[in-house]
Amino acid sequence: MSATAAPADSRIRRIFRGLGLVLGGKAGAGILSLLYLLLATRYLGPTDYGVLVLVHAYVTTVCGIIEFPSWQAILRYGAEADRDGSTHRLGRLLRFGATVELTGGALAIVSAMVLAPFVGPHLGWSAKAMAFAPVYAFAVLGSIRSTPAGYLQLIGRFDLIGLHNLVQPIVRVGGTIVVIAFGWGLKSFLAAWLLAALAEFAVLWGMGLWFAARRLGSGLWKPEPGAVRLENPGIWRFLIASNADVTLRDLTGRIAPLIVGWVLGPASAGLFAVAQRATVIIAQPAQILGNTSYAELSHIVAEGGGGSALRQTVAKVAGISLLAAAPIVLIVAFFPKVIVGLLAGPAFAAAASVMIVLVAARAIALVGPPCSSAISALGHPERSMGANLFASLVFLPVLPWLLHRFDLMGAGIQALGQAILASALLVFLTWRSSGRTG
């Protein structure tokens, strides 16, 4: 084995070891999520389940647009501070990231509250859903946790992130069982999902603070004076570009159910949500892989890499991901009706066809997360943002027309086209950016 191959293989092992630790929790979470899906879809039916999905999708979409997660900056600049042993610089960085993220979260909550009465009627929400929607805006907090997640990735505690993945589904399953046992309705399901989001927020922040306090001590609580912007050059530009990139990358997945509900109604949104559910087995590992690879790629760049070593790592990660997803795509393609029947029951059978296309689109999109991570690690998140923005601008505006023309299958066509275009652009930009750096 060559001298260059060994470090590359070691990096690949570290990336997939982190992925494995997080997926351990995700596997348990997936089983629990399947359980509450089985219960909720059969208890609520397509229309009420569609309303539940639409309220949640509305809140997460507002959050995704307004929130300001800082995990990528924590990893990129934190890797430099960690390499230099500068605990006070890292402490200042964490405090800065937490302040930025929590401020964005507060703004997202207020925005979701204010806009709910205007958006809800167009999405077919019931009166009870409309009344509870402003309270459900606090579910935004379930996504405001990137600062502790970034720090735990920085110190390699992917096992804790994996355990944290169990929190939300455990609370949702417990809430679903209680709601069904007492014969309550949609509003109670929303309350259970809200409690799950709040628990998700509290547990990860608790774990992050515990380990940061133990490792950094006074560097966290009372860091020495220093200017975060001066010791982390370009951090605001990096934050703005990386957040815009993440927002655009996830925007279609978040806003598509809302467009489906707006054009075709809550029942179709419920069908679409079930079809999307089958993509989770690919989507969640892809997202986690992007995060775990970003931590390793940031260390590569911090150590002076960024050329062939970076490209080799990205190529192997993407290739392994595609090979792992191929059997899932084939199973869904051959047994779509059986899968939908198991997931949600015969009332959701119309979701089978679009599910095949959505899973294929998600498989193609697997190359995106490691490429985006590499581009961001090189300090150019705006390039990844540009690729995702262009793909969204090309395909998202035509989704309403596609829905009118092809009914629910229009959402599958839109997802497939956008995945192909975005993936091709990201591969090109990764090779171009790393080639220049190398």
pLDDT attached to residue 6: 44
Joined together, the tokens standing for residue 274 give 């079930």
pLDDT attached to residue 72: 78
Q: What does pLDDT average to over the chain?
A: 82
The CA distance from 53 to 266, in Å, is 9
Helix (H) or strand (E) holding 340: helix 336-344
Q: Among residues 31, 43, 327, 347, which one has the least CA distance to residue 182?
A: 43
pLDDT attached to residue 417: 94
**In contact, 351 and 340? CB cutoff 8 Å:** yes
Backbone angles phi, psi at 185, to 5 degrees: -120, -155
Q: How far is CA 175 from CA 185, 219, 274, in A?
A: 12, 40, 20
* Alpha carbon distance, N-terminus to C-terminus of the chain: 22
CB atoms within 10 A of CB 215: 15
pLDDT attached to residue 15: 57
- State yes or no: pLDDT of 70 exceeds 90: no
Q: What angle do CA 139, 141, 147 make, to 5 degrees?
A: 155
302: pLDDT confidence band, cut at 50, 70 and 90?
low
Chain centre to alpha carbon of residue 104: 17
The CA distance from 63 to 192, in Å, is 19
The CA distance from 143 to 63, in Å, is 8
Burial class (CB in 10 A: 0-12, 13-18, 19+), 190: buried
**In contact, 126 and 51? CB cutoff 8 Å:** yes
Residue-wise pLDDT for 186-239, tens only, equals 999 999 999 999 999 999 999 999 988 888 887 788 877 877 788 878 888 888
Domain boundaries, the chain: 5-437
The pTM (predicted TM-score) of the whole model is: 0.77
Mean of pLDDT values over 143-171: 86
Joined together, the tokens standing for residue 66 give 């307004």
What share of the chain has pLDDT > 90, as a percent?
31
pLDDT attached to residue 54: 93
Mean of pLDDT values over 148-170: 85
Window from 15-29, 69-83, 247-261, 369-383 with minimum mean pLDDT: 15-29
- DSSP output for 293-331: HHHHHHHHHHTT--SHHHHHHHHHHHHHHHHHHHHHHHH
